[in-house]
Amino acid sequence: MNSLHNLNREIILGPGHSLNELIARLFWISETNGDYSHTEWELYPGVFGLYARHNDDYVATTGHRTLDHSVLDHYNNVVRCATTPEPINNFNKNHFYVNCTFDVMKNIYKDITAPVYCAKLDMENYPETRYHFAMMEYSEGAAEHLNYGKKPTLLHVAKRCFIKNCTENEQDMDINWINVGKVLQKDYSDFPDHCTPHIENFNAIIDQYNWYNRISDFTMQQLVDMSWDEILDIT
């Protein structure tokens, strides 16, 4: 581990639609000693239904985003979309998510002065993560080339999940990977030890997240029910 790491911080880097916001929210809970009485959500309407994820700028500004607009604007316009390490290292918050591609991560993660975490969907071994990914991937505005008046077929969505899984498996960065399939099943073994006292609070957040994001679409249920071999057969 880099000797310059600030061990009081955990920085979450990674692509969108991978539940990195959920990881940031859990770290935030550990910092605030379990105060999960309020949060704010980002809604994803789409052809498969409505999906809700945690609002990353609410988490990044420690739940006070309405009180300090300058911090909020700086996070959204500079930190959250950073392509160099400096804005991340200089942002005076302990836990936040930076939405970046794997290519950007490869260029900057070694120079981040805090432990770096990234969510991994592992859709081969945790089928329910296919649903969470697809609900965001096929939400309105997420992909401009889509005709939002027509549902993508199961074949189309399964192929997209296969591509995402392959991209994840290609990554060899020496960072802290958190398998969100395990997290959604209340297995927090990929988190650092200092989070252990907050497991009960983590469970409450996961229960809430899973309750809000129940499957209501037949195609999404089919996607989750498919074996990985079936997905390989059609890709």
**Beta partners for residue 41, in sequence order:** 54
- Over residues 41-45, mean pLDDT: 92
Q: What is the pTM of this model?
A: 0.92
How confident is the model over 22-41, as pLDDT tens digits? 999 999 888 876 566 677 89
Question: Given this model, what pLDDT does residue 52 score?
Answer: 96
Longest CA–CA separation in the chain, Å:
52
How confident is the model over 146-203, as pLDDT tens digits? 666 678 999 999 999 999 999 999 999 999 999 999 999 999 999 999 999 999 999 9
d(CA 133, CA 164): 9
Contact criterion met (CB below 8 Å) for 199 and 124: no
pLDDT band at residue 95 using 50, 70 and 90 as cut-offs: confident
How confident is the model over 216-234, as pLDDT tens digits? 999 999 999 999 999 999 8
Q: Spell out the domain ranges in the chain.
A: 10-234
How confident is the model over 70-87, as pLDDT tens digits? 888 899 999 999 999 999
Percentages helix, strand, coil for the chain, rounded to the nearest 5?
Answer: 45, 15, 40
What are the tokens at 57?
């700028």
Question: Given this model, what pLDDT does residue 57 score?
Answer: 84
